[in-house]
Each structure stands twice: as C-alpha cells, then as structure tokens.
Structure 1
Amino acid sequence: MNIQEPDRNTLKEARDSRHEPRRWKVWRKRTDGEISWWFASTGIPLLAAALGPFANLSSIAALVTSWRQNNYLNSDFVSDLFGVPYADPKWCYWLNVVSLICGFLGNIFLLFNFTQKIRYIIALPATIILWYISSGLLIAITACMEVYDPPNRPFEIYTQGYWYAVAAAIFYFVCSVLLMVNMLGYFLGHYPDHFALSDNQRTLILQTMFFFIWMAGGAAIYSRIQTDAGEDQWTFPNALYFCYVTILTVGFGDLVATTDLGRGLLFPYSVGGIITLGLVVSSLYRAARELGEDHIVQKDLERRREQTLALTATNSDDYRHRQHQLVRRGTFGRLKISAPTEPRPYRTAMGNNVPRTSTLARNFSVPIVDRKPRLLLLKEEKDRFDAMRRIQADSKRFKRWMALFWSALYFCYISLLTIGYGDLSPKSNPGRCFFVIWSLISVPTMTILVSDLGDTVVAKFKKWSNIVADFTVLPKRDIWQPFVDKNPWLQQRIQDHEAKRRVREGFGTANPDEGDEVDNDNDVEVAADAIQATNPNITSLAEEAETDLACAPTLASLARRIAFSIKKVSFDLRLDVPKRYSYEEWVEFTRLIRYTTPRRLNRILGTTLTNETENEEGLVNWDWLVY
C-alpha cells in the first residue's frame, strides 16, 4: 500500500496551529463577538489615548505648583488669584514625582501598543498597572494632605495644583478601568491582540498629543515671562488657564499678558493653537462619524440580519424543532393567586378594649392642666426655635443657589459659544481647574452636535425654505400642478370654472385674415391630443380603442401625443416625491409605445386594424417588453 507523504506546508500549518495561543483560537472561533464589543475594541483605546495626555498635563500642573496658599495678607483677604503659595511637605512632593513618572511611562506603553512596537499582552497590562499606581499615589497624597496637613481655613486654601492632582487621579483611574474592559474583551475572544486603527483615528491621537504639548509649552513660557516681570500670580495653572481661554477664543479678560514679549508671542501662539484645536475637533468628528457608520449602523444591521436568518426555518424538521423549543420554554403550573387581605372592620367588634370617656367628660369640657415641668417646656420651645432657624437657613441657601444657578447657566452659554463678555469668569482655584476640564470636553461635544445638526435639522430647514420660496418670493412655474393632480375634485372644479367662463364670455372664433376651418380643426385636434396625453380617462381610452380598430391614428397626432407625454414625464422627473402613474396613464403610454414599434409603422398611415390583430396585440394584453 502506498501512503502519500504529507506536504511540508501542511505539517508547518499543523505545527503552528498546535503552538498557537489559546486566546487567538478563541478569537477565531468567536469573531461574531466584535459586533457587540466594538466600543471596547475601538472606542476605549481612542478615549484612553485622548485622556492620557490630559492626565499627564494635569499631573504636571499638580507637581510644579504648591498645593496650599495664604489669602490673608497685610490684615486683609485677597482673591485666590493673588494668594501667596507656600511649600508642601517633602513626602507630598516626591510621591507626586513618582506619580508623574508612572503616568508618563503608562502613556508611552500605550503609544507603543498602538504602533505595535511592543506586544499587546505586555504593553496594555503595563499601562494599566502604571496608571493605577499613579492614581493610587495621587489619591493617597491628596487624602493625607487633607487629613494630616490641611490649610488653616479661612486664611489658607488649596491652590489649583491640588485640584489638578484630584483631576489627574480621576483620569488615570477612569482610563485604567476602560483599558481593563478592553483586555477583558480580548481574553473573552471578541477581538485580536492589536488595535486596528484607521487613518482618521491615528491622526486624532497624534493631533491630541500635539495639542496638549502646545498647551503645556505655552503655559510654561508665559508663566516664566510674566513672573520675571514681577507678576507672581502667573503660576503654571494660571498660565494654563490663560492659554486655553486664548485658544478657545473666549477672552474673559480676567488674566491678560502685560509685557511686550508676552503680547508679541501671542500672535503666533494663538494662531497655532486655534488651528491645532480646529484640527483636533475635525479629526474627532470624523472619527466619531466613522465609528458610528462602521459599527453602530452596519454592525447593528448585520446583527439583525443574522437574528432574522436564525429565526428562519428552512425545512419541516427545523420548524418542528422550533415549535418544540417554544413549547419547552413555556411555563406550566398552577397560577399563583395572592391570599385575600384582612378587611378593616366597618364597626368595632363587641368585647374589644376600647377606651371610653365618662358621661361627665362627654357632656362637659373640663380644661386639663399640663403638669409638665417648666424646664421641659423650655427645651421643647428651644427645639422648635432651632428647627425654624434651620428651615430659614436652608431656604436662604436654596434661594442663593437658584440665583447662582442661572448665573452659571449664563456663563456656560457664553463660554460654549465663545462670546466671552467678561462680566462673569471663574475666580476660585477649583473653578478655574474645573473650567479647563469642562471646556475641553464640552467644546468637541458641541462641535459634533452642530455638525450633526447640519446633516439633519439644517437639511430639513433648507428643504422647507426652498418649498416656501417656490410658493412665495421665488415662485416656480406650474408649482400648483402636482397639488392639483393629487386632488381630482379640485381639478374638476377648475375645469368646470373654465367651462363656465367660456360659456359666459362666448366661444371664440377664428381670425378671418389668418385662419380657416382647417386651422380650427387643427387647433381642436391639438387641444384634444394635449388633454388626452396629460389627463387620460377610461371613457376616452375606450373610444380611442374603438377608433383604432377602424383606422390607425395619424402620424401628426402620434407625434403630438408623444411630445406632450415626454414633456409631462420630464416635469414629473423634477418632482421631489417620485410620481406614481395611474392605470389610465400607463394605458396611454403603452398605446404610444405600441404604435411606435417597427412592426406597427407600416400600419399607421391609413391602415385599418382587424379584430385578429387587436386580439393579438390588444389594448390590455399588449406588453411592450417583448418588442
């Protein structure tokens, strides 16, 4: 017996599949999971790549700035902008340094994972662990600062550096949790061990990194320039706030450059920052639109098709099997009916111990003297007094909060629209930190919303404005004709009105100098052809069918009918809503096509049609597709 020796390539494929990682095998078996895990596979890495540099920037702002400042100077309170910071404990500073280093290393590992310089199974766990360490260190030192060495309030407060540390801890923690979800989807076999990024997504990551580098560099430069000029309030967080307000084109005016060097540097810096921000927002919109089109719409459509296909029974065995499954899923058993509740007695039963008042008490009301001690009465009065004071304080606080809420809503509105009147601006240290974070998230969101409005609301507005213009300021010719065609009763009333007008004015006669009876007959024929071509009816079609049996239509009549029909169809093609032709119109079209075929041309001029020919190519049974 001759046994065929296996091919080398076959042996190599079998060996590779034997040594292939188990996770890759699981992913190959469950490629359908990507439909439900598309956000974990693509959206989460993009979100982490966008938030990672901002977390690093927040960590830098927390490191280079002291966390506490003194607002009580020269026996007077100053605003948060002019407070004097003082040094932090050594343990706080060095733990902050370690947190910043871990955050940078985690971001570098994530970038190497995107570029596939380091394997997914190594780079992503390293990023998660390093960012968890950064978040844990920042949470620990901020909590310890509040517990063991807090500022002496109200004379001392926290600076923006402290609040940027809180923001960085939150960003590191959120990104780590999101990346853990991404790794969970990989271990469950829903997608392979690499990020399949498109050009738009890769461009978004690079532009986001460049934008935050531009922000950090500008803040460092302006902080150094203005501090050397004697303006000590220009710390790194304040300079970062100034740079972002400038790039966002809000311009509140609460913090401005006063030196010639700072004002001169503002020209190239603002132009470059505005262009970079526009590129980031544009790339973010394209990436979000790409994710929506490729995953949300297409994947959902594919999932629905697969579900529909799975529910389809191809033969009788599948149908019986599905019916059996439905029967097995049904729940059988005795229905559970709740027991009746105890009814409340309408009348009190006899024999119950019901306290009764005496006859004297029922007939005479004797005042009862309270025997409580005076001290207890005073305590109760004091409790009621304190309760009313608390209610008054809560009401006052609520009124103040409502007043501040509308002011804050007004401030958010002018900030998002980049109006920036300057009458309201963030003054406190946590307010400025929150404004930078909030605006960085809200401005791209606002841009995506406006862009989507351009595809939906603006498109509808343009359509309706064109319709209104067609009827009013820019009237279109025959604009009312489709409306009249859709309402036969209106068309009939117009025709009746025209007929009454002709009867009232009298029928016109031909011009004796230019016309004769032949011209009148031709005009009548032209009008009849126009009416029949544009508005055919069953009666006229039947009469023409009887006439065609006796004599074929003339070539001139056919030419006029075809011209009127072509004009009518060309007008119908310009309608916004596709025209659906009636049965009478289709009969007229097929009649014209029937008489313009090569086989019928020799019968048109003076040739009669026999009953056999009409039965062969009749009015109803004739089909022009066979010619």
Structure 2
Amino acid sequence: MNDPGLDDAIADEANALDMQQISREKSSATSGKDNAPRSLDSQESLKARWWLASTAYPLTAGTFGPMASAFNVCCLAQTWRMKPDSSGGYLNIPDPKWVIGVNAISLVFAVVANVALSLNMARRIRFSVAQPIIILGWYISSALLVGILIPFGVLMYRPENAGHIYTQAYFYGTFAAGLYFILASLLTVTAYGAYKGHYSRRFSLTNSQRTLMLQTIIFCIYLLGGAAVYAKVEGWRFLDAVYYADYTLLTIGVGNISPATHLGRGLLFPYAVGGIVILGLIISSIRTLMLEHGRQKIGSAIADMTRKLLVKEALSDRNRFRAIVPDLRTDGNEEDMTEREKQKREFITMRRVRQIASVQHKWVSLCVSLIVWMALWLIGAVVFWRSETHQPWTYFEALYFAYTSLLTIGYGDVYPESSLGKAFFVFWSLLAVPTITILISNIGDTLIRFIRDLTLYLGALTILPGEEAFLSRVKDMFRREKWLQEATGETNNARDILNDSNPDLPRAGYLEAKELQKEEVARQHGDIAAQNLHHYHYILFREIRKMILLAKSSSTKEFDYLEWEYYLLLFPGSIP
C-alpha cells in the first residue's frame, strides 16, 4: 500500500509530546517541583518571534522615524507658549534661546540617525557601524527634548505665567520625544538579536519594504511642504496649516480651517490629488507587507501552537475536542483496521487540525486588529475629551468626533480647538491609516466572506435555485466539513479546473497527444507492457497540466484522501 506521507508527521508529533513529558518529569524529579509546561512554541513560533526583531521592528523604525522628525520640525516652527491679548486672541511668547538651541540639536541628532538608518538599509553602511549611530542618536534626541519639556512645564506654574497656554509646538515635542525613545528601543532589540546570532547582522528588508519607507518620507515632506505654502498664502500659523493639510490629505475634511483665497483654493486641486495618490501607495504597501508577509509569519506560529494542542488531545485518553478532531490513540479496535484505514484516519485528523488552525488564525487576526482599532478610538476620544474642556465636550461627543474621523466621514459639526487637540489629531490620524487598513482587510477575510457565502446560500434557497435539491442545500449549510472549507477559502472553481468537462481546459496537450499515439501503436503491435506504460505517461502528463493550471489560477483546492492517494500512485516510486 502506498504511503500518503502522514505517518512521519503523526509520529513526530507524538514523539515531540512524549519528549516534552519526559523532560518535565526529569525536571520535576531533580527539583522536587511539578513544573508546568511553559508553552507549545516550536521553531516556527521562534522564527516568527525573531521575524519581528529582524524585519518588523526595522520597518517600523524606518516608517515612523521620518514622522518623528517631522514632529520635531513642527516643534521648532513655533514658540511653545501663548498669552491672551486684548482682542480676544493669543500672542506668541518668545522662547529662551537655550530652549531653541537644545531643540535644534535634538533635531540634528535625529536627522543623523534617520540618514544612518536609510544608508544601512541601502547597505551603504555596515550594520555594526550604523546601529550605534541610530540608537544613540534617537535616545539622545529623546533625552534632549525631555530635558527641555519638563522644566518648561514647571515654568508654566509660576504666578507670573498665569493665563499662559501651550502652543501646538510643545505637544509636537512630546510626541517626537516619545517616538524617538520607542523606535530606539525597538532597534535595540534588533541589535541584540543580531548579536546573539538569531539572524544576519544586516537588515533583511526587500525592495518593497524599502519603498514603504521612501513613501513615508515623501508623504511627510509633502505634508509639511504643503502646510508651509498654505501658511504663506492664507496667512495661517504654520502648525494650523499642518493640521489643515493633515485632514485634507487623509480625506477627513473636518472643515474648521479652509482656504479663503482664490490661490489657496486653486492649489487644493493638485495638492489634494497628489497627497491622496501618495497615501494610496502607502496603504497598498502596508497591506502587501504587513498583511500578506507579516501575517503569514505570525500565523505560522499560531497554527503551529493550535496543531500541537489538537494533536496532543487526539493522542490523549481524554480528547476534549473529539467533536472536531477524531481520536488517534491506539485502542482495541486497531487490530481490525487495515493499514489504509489507519492512514486515512490520520489524514482526516491532520486535515481537520490544519483547517481549524487556519480558521482560528483569521479570527484571531480580526480580533487583534479590532481591539487595536477600538483602543485607538476609545483612548483617542479620552484625549480629545480632556483637551477640549473649554468647549466643553462630553465623552460621547468626543467618541462621536473620533468615530467620524476614523472612518474619514468628517461632518465638521464638532472639531478640536485647543493646541493639544489639534496636535494630537495629526498624530492620532496618521496612526489610524494603517490600523483601519488592517482591520478592513481582516473583515474582508472573515465577516464579509461569511456574509457573502450566506447571501449566496439564501439566494439559492429562495429566488436563485440551482441544480442541487433544496434539502441538500440546507444540509450543506450545517455540515462541519463544508463550513471549514468555506472558512479556509476553497472555491468550486478549483474543482472545475480539475474536471475534464471544463471548456477552458484543452483536451490534450502536445505531450499527451504523443503518448496517446504511442499507446495506439503499441496496442496495434500487441505490446501490452508498452501500451500500459504510454497510457500511464498520458495520465501523468494530463494531471501535471491540470496542477499547473490550478497553481496559476486564483482558486484554492483541498484534496481529499482518495485524491491524494490517486496522485501519489502516479509517481514512479509509488507504483505497486
């Protein structure tokens, strides 16, 4: 009997679980304690964990590093304090020269760190040389900003400064300091992993990942450059123009600041289109890199943990998941089962485990992205609520504003007016772009797919009946295997490709036609062995062509045990 290739997989899982148990028993015997297993992580989960340090962290640093420097520029663009004047407005209070000097020095260190990071990723500077420059540069920038932010905040509590308020520049300084510290800490983890030899001492970023970094730099320059132009044309403060440019390019359209001159309105046509194009490229890059590549790495860890857990239960005496995963434990009925039946049972079990892990991965991704989005919404609403106490806003109004802004609805009936509210809006809205992108993609993989399939089923049951009988369709809706296949993305198109009746599939290619001719010649000569051999070659070439067409299509296909058994028989080493 031909081996479908599952015995080794089952045996490896069983041996691995047994070795874990033996290791725990030895540890318990030597220490006198009952040590519980730490986790079910394997090499795949370890690789996924170090993928974060080797790829995701540098990519995050390269993406948010320019944003932090842009905030540092905003921090220098305006004084940090204002006081009310007789007309009801505010007048800027000049900053001490030492504050401006330290602020400028912090920007210089940050720019040097960003340049070193870019050159290192372009492989112009060695990893061992660039990493200390990047990490120390950002840490020094963060420390310098914190060193002037704290004493400057203390000065505001002096009696002679009563009535003074912070400008947006002060809060941009806090955002820049925080980002510098976080990014430097992430790259410290990256440097540690490289030092320990978990990956090579160079960034393993692809051209697409470097493109995302370049797109982010271009967007930040485009945002600040456009803000500078509008500040000049409309006579706005530069940071108010940054706030306007941000909600314009992100298509939120709050509307409390808008151009009033013909030149400003005319410039909006090319400026908005260019910014939206750049933003669309960034969103596409985030989707490709973080969702398709990053999710695959993290998903392999989740799937591996789920697989180990379910196989352990299937091999245990008390299978808690017997309803979805058959038992693999040897019992008295094993002697009555043929080798093929045992292999088929193992095949079905492992197929179930893989399907469940795939479904779990999709829903875990959705839950995580939804939690992040909810946190961004709820926590952002708290900041807006507390920053707009002079209006005053209720928390519900802050939730309403944050929600309409996250979904880029932007009614404009409520909007931030405080310095903290405007500065935080820019920072918060830029974080919302990747968050909402990931959430929408995960919704498309789970909820929207489920609703689409449900709609098609209801249509088939009511106004769009198909060839299948009504009762058969109702039963299919409640079949566990059918639900798992739909959840993992298998389509009927994949089955049509493998069907000879498919009109898009040629009846015979060149090699198949040649083998049929040779088979006919052998039959005419009475050579039964040659006839069978050429007939086998014909079938082999035909099935290979089908597999190539299936691989090129966008459809997915899961083969059942009989199909796997059939295809394994086609290999010469498997012929009985």
TM-score of the superposed pair, with normalisation by structure 1: 0.54
Which of 401, 426, 440 aligns to 1:436? It is: 426
Q: 1:62 to 1:255 in 2, by over 3 A?
A: same
1:311-460 map, 5 Å: 404-460=394-450
2:186 equivalent in structure 1:
178
2:143 equivalent in structure 1:
136
Q: Report deviation, 1:148.
A: 3.9
Q: Quick check: 1:222–1:239 contact (8 Å CA) kept in 2?
A: yes
1:145 equivalent in structure 2:
152
Q: Unaligned 5+ residue runs, structure 2?
A: 1-42, 312-385, 477-555, 561-574
Q: Report deviation, 1:132.
A: 0.9
Q: Quick check: 1:32–1:190 contact (8 Å CA) kept in 2?
A: no
Once residues 578 and 303 of structure 1 are traced to their aligned partners in structure 2, the CA distance between those partners, rounded to angstroms, is 22
1:268 equivalent in structure 2:
270
Q: Report deviation, 1:34.
A: 3.7
Residues 201-246 of structure 1 show CA distances to partners (whole Å, capped at 9, x for unaligned) of 122111111111111111111112222xxxxxx2221110000111
2:229 equivalent in structure 1:
221
Q: Quick check: 2:155–2:161 contact (8 Å CA) kept in 1?
A: no
Which of 100, 108, 120 aligns to 1:113? It is: 120
More helix by proportion, 1 or 2?
A: 2
Q: Report deviation, 1:193.
A: 0.5
2:91 equivalent in structure 1:
84
Q: 1:307 to 1:145 in 2, by over 3 A?
A: same
Q: Aligned to 1:37, what secondary structure does the other structure show?
A: helix
Once residues 280 and 41 of structure 1 are traced to their aligned partners in structure 2, the CA distance between those partners, rounded to angstroms, is 21
Q: Quick check: 1:56–1:100 contact (8 Å CA) kept in 2?
A: yes
Once residues 62 and 559 of structure 2 are traced to their aligned partners in structure 1, the CA distance between those partners, rounded to angstroms, is 52
Q: Aligned to 1:73, what secondary structure does the other structure show?
A: coil
Once residues 115 and 208 of structure 1 are traced to their aligned partners in structure 2, the CA distance between those partners, rounded to angstroms, is 16
- Is the radius of gyration larger for structure 1 or structure 2? 1
Q: 1:46 and 2:67 equivalent?
A: no
Q: Quick check: 2:401–2:415 contact (8 Å CA) kept in 1?
A: yes
Q: Quick check: 2:45–2:304 contact (8 Å CA) kept in 1?
A: no
Q: Which amino acid aligns with 1:426?
A: P
Q: 1:191 and 2:193 equivalent?
A: no
Structure of higher RCO (CA pairs closer than 8 Å, 6+ residues apart): 2
Once residues 480 and 272 of structure 1 are traced to their aligned partners in structure 2, the CA distance between those partners, rounded to angstroms, is 53
1:246 equivalent in structure 2:
248
Which of 121, 145, 166 aligns to 1:158? It is: 166
1:466-477 map, 5 Å: 466-477=456-467
Once residues 280 and 161 of structure 2 are traced to their aligned partners in structure 1, the CA distance between those partners, rounded to angstroms, is 42
Q: 1:178 to 1:236 in 2, by over 3 A?
A: same
Which of 287, 290, 294 aligns to 2:289? It is: 287
Once residues 302 and 253 of structure 1 are traced to their aligned partners in structure 2, the CA distance between those partners, rounded to angstroms, is 49
Q: Quick check: 1:139–1:166 contact (8 Å CA) kept in 2?
A: yes
Q: Report deviation, 1:296.
A: 1.5
Once residues 306 and 473 of structure 1 are traced to their aligned partners in structure 2, the CA distance between those partners, rounded to angstroms, is 45
1:508 equivalent in structure 2:
none
Q: Report deviation, 1:299.
A: 5.3
TM-score of the superposed pair, with normalisation by structure 2: 0.58
Q: Unaligned 5+ residue runs, structure 1?
A: 1-29, 228-233, 310-396, 487-575, 581-625
Q: Which amino acid aligns with 1:257?
A: P
Q: Report deviation, 1:200.
A: 2.6
Q: 1:437 to 1:139 in 2, by over 3 A?
A: same
Q: 1:485 to 1:114 in 2, by over 3 A?
A: closer
2:108 equivalent in structure 1:
101
Once residues 403 and 105 of structure 1 are traced to their aligned partners in structure 2, the CA distance between those partners, rounded to angstroms, is 42
The percent identity for this pair of structures is: 39
CA RMSD in angstroms comes to 3.3
Once residues 203 and 557 of structure 2 are traced to their aligned partners in structure 1, the CA distance between those partners, rounded to angstroms, is 45
Q: Report deviation, 1:166.
A: 0.8
1:520-599 map, 5 Å: none
Q: Quick check: 2:250–2:408 contact (8 Å CA) kept in 1?
A: yes
Q: Aligned to 2:394, what secondary structure does the other structure show?
A: helix
Q: Report deviation, 1:31.
A: 11
Q: Report deviation, 1:577.
A: 13
Q: Quick check: 1:31–1:190 contact (8 Å CA) kept in 2?
A: no
Q: Quick check: 1:120–1:194 contact (8 Å CA) kept in 2?
A: yes
Once residues 129 and 35 of structure 1 are traced to their aligned partners in structure 2, the CA distance between those partners, rounded to angstroms, is 27
